[in-house]
Structure 1
């Protein structure tokens, strides 16, 4: 019972069920790019090149500020696989991943300097207090914010390079039921809450435009470890005495890898008004082997736990296009296919991940010479997936996830 308890605890702690990307990654870093299937590595579109390819930033001819936000609405459905008829659905609050970018450089200078603030990981999943897997998870909230100061240099009209530091900060909150009841049948509850220490990574890219119609890009974002030290552990234990003595921990430590990414991108302009982009992205999920928790006391009678994850590296294939209808209006469309990193036997209610299909659309309205309005909408449909979760102590059953994500951004150029 103790090993089962701790395995469920380990599986639930720091992974978020995000319906917008494989694993717990959120790919919503630019409204123009979202409308094109989130392509952008081989393109120069706006200040969001700080994220998509720092090497392309120096090819922007105007300085600017961009502020954007998406409204992430995701739903996950569960059906029992043990021969019963139990079903459950999440009641997730709306997530609001955001992006802020600003860049500046003298008009005739080959240098551009920028800063980006964005949310590549984070969401909330809420299964409630009555579903079958409540002893593994009731509710989980994960937040990660990246701050990226960036510098970019344009060697010529054909070649640019750039790089930036990635400064990560964030937090996590887990709530789950405990299989202990009082005289009235009320179950116990445990909550873990912590802030991650500031950690450092980097983002670097190269942009190359051999002809007016063809552009190429490659970018690498390093792995960052999100570490929680001295997180708070609180309980509602309805039973006193020897059972309560098994739950004495008040703090926990844990580490979650935020994986590295390498992306190759191609941009093609068959006509003056039409731009097509293709990206292939490898996500280094293989770094996520296990999740270990160390407590300063006992949780379920033990002072540490290890939950096996054994994720595998995965690939995302993206394609998108934009067409300039007029000086005022540009329209976009795109899509992607995202291979899940979660192996068979390791599916959990926090990341009931499966191969994802996404379609998206968007547009830009030029409100004035200096102000643009971007809008996008993305629909994500994960394949239905059944798993016994026998290697992760998850909940055996069938999961199905979908997400609807409108977004908007304002660009000011100067």
Structure 2
């Protein structure tokens, strides 16, 4: 019983510290459909529409008309698992990421020639993985879901027609839920128990940026998103064989976790009236995630109490800092249509020594296509498609409480997005 609770709590920490296919770590890139069309190259310097609230708040100074931007992206992920083997047998279907929708909305209003107000609602982090019930690695990973929603009121100030700054506090709501399987020591591989853990918190950060129109053709942007410190609180529920009289009981759980800060530098260069080029790099400080500590209160003495191995759990992560590099281009066909494309390289923060079925990610390559259609001067509809493919991720895990699991994961994803911009 003690081993079951220990394994489950560590699973919860892995749930909140990992992701699958969406972006580096458990970050999401899908906050702008116009940016998605060029693989998010130039995200901090383009200021194409109101979505610059999240990409670089200083870009609002370059938006001259009040506007609203509403959009959503749908992510369709696929995993092929090769040579999957678990101590207690099971399947390796790999279809553990359901289709995921990522909505977004922005509003920008110029107040005068210098000041601009904006508001954004978007999802900067998130994950959803759900393995089949008989998955061979079920003691290492089962179901994980984390959602982070950010509300960002923002202000920008233009020093002149070439230099602007922007700032916005971010109010972030995180919710996490995990259902995991536990090994029944009396019948290994049979009659698994089940543990469901839920937690949530609200915390504050900020988003700040600088944008410079260096020449008539070249614009440079620098954006910084702060780390956010969360203190999740929730419940741990145990049920099923292996938990005896404790089946159905709930215990208070708490976890401190930081989402990392990031800094992005990008350039937008207009070659002529038709061609525009983009380039950008983003640094994310995932190395902050060295370890995770979970505290369970109300744990009975039979499980060690508050001071026992169940009451306080520590798990080493040792994630590493990452870089995201992207280039892109846009071609203006006419006054109504603009076409976009982009390429990107995105590093995974997960080290080989800490990779598990809950974190089966490798470095990724990204290709994107996009289009903007403006039937009138007041309306623009953006479309984007993004294809992502990861390097093969090898998993070789073994534990006395979970058995062994080994497999080679080959991950890919298709993302479709659309947004509507209306100018008042």
TM-score (norm 1): 0.92
Distance 2:294 2:242 in 1: 24
1:274 corresponds in structure 2 to 275
Partner of residue 14 from structure 1, selected from 16, 19, 33 = 16
User: Which residue of structure 2 aligns with residue 350 of structure 1?
Assistant: 358
Instruction: Give yes or no for contact 2:207–2:225 (8 Å, CA) kept in 1.
Output: yes
1:317 maps to what in 2?
A: 325
Match of 1:284 in 2: 285
Residue in structure 2 matched with residue 166 of structure 1 by the alignment: 170
Deviations 1:153-205 (A, max 9, x none): 1111110101100110021110011112899953211100122x210111110
Q: 2:239 is matched with which residue?
A: 236
Question: Secondary structure, in 3 states, of the residue corresponding to 1:13?
Answer: helix
Distance 1:226 1:75 in 2: 30
Structure 2 residue 71 is the aligned partner of structure 1 residue 68:
yes
Partner Cα distance (2:376, 2:153) in 1: 28
Cα distance 1:190–1:150, how it changes in 2: closer, same or farther (>3 A)?
same
Q: Does 1:410 align with 2:414?
A: no
Q: 1:91 aligns with which of 88, 91, 96?
A: 96
Q: Which residue of 2 aligns with 1:365?
A: 373
Residue 146 of structure 1 and its aligned partner are, at CA, apart by: 0.9
| Residue number in structure 2 paired with 1:146 | 150
Match of 1:127 among 131, 136, 143: 131
Alpha-carbon distance in 1 for matches of 2:176, 2:327: 33
- Corresponding residue of 1:256: 257
Please, what TM-score do these two structures have when normalized by structure 2? Answer: 0.90
Residue 134 of structure 1: how far off its partner (Å): 1.1
1:238-266: CA deviation from partner (whole Å, max 9, x where unpaired): 2465xx45996522101222110000011
Cα distance in 2 for residues equivalent to 1:133 and 1:112:
52
Cα contact 1:261–1:283 (8 A) shared by 2? yes
Mean Cα displacement is larger for which, 15-24 or 34-43?
Answer: 15-24
CA distance in 2, matches of 1:8, 1:188: 10
How many residues are treated as equivalent by the alignment? 408
State whether residues 15 and 142 of structure 1, in contact with CA within 8 Å, keep that contact through their aligned partners in structure 2: no
Structure 2: 5+ residue stretches without partners: 305-309
| Most deviating of 292-301 and 320-329 | 292-301
RMSD: 2.5
- The offset of 1:218, in angstroms, is 0.5
> Contact conserved, 2:388 with 2:412, CA < 8 A, in 1?
yes
SS in 2 for 1:88: coil
Which of 215, 224, 228 pairs up with 2:228?
A: 224
- Asked if the contact 1:74/1:404 (under 8 Å) is kept, the reply is yes
Q: Which runs of 4+ in 1 moved over 4 A?
A: 1-5, 80-86, 181-185, 244-249
Sort the Cα spacing of 1:45 and 1:165 in 2 relative to 1 into closer, same or farther, 3 A. Answer: same
Give the Å deviation of 1:3.
6.0
| SS of 1:215 mapped into structure 2 | strand
Task: Say whether 1:194 aligns with 2:196.
Answer: no
- Name 1:328's counterpart in structure 2: 336
Cross-structure match for 1:156 = 160
Check 1:132–1:240 CA distance in 2 against 1; reply closer, same or farther (3 A cut): closer
- Tell me, what secondary structure is at the counterpart of 1:28? coil
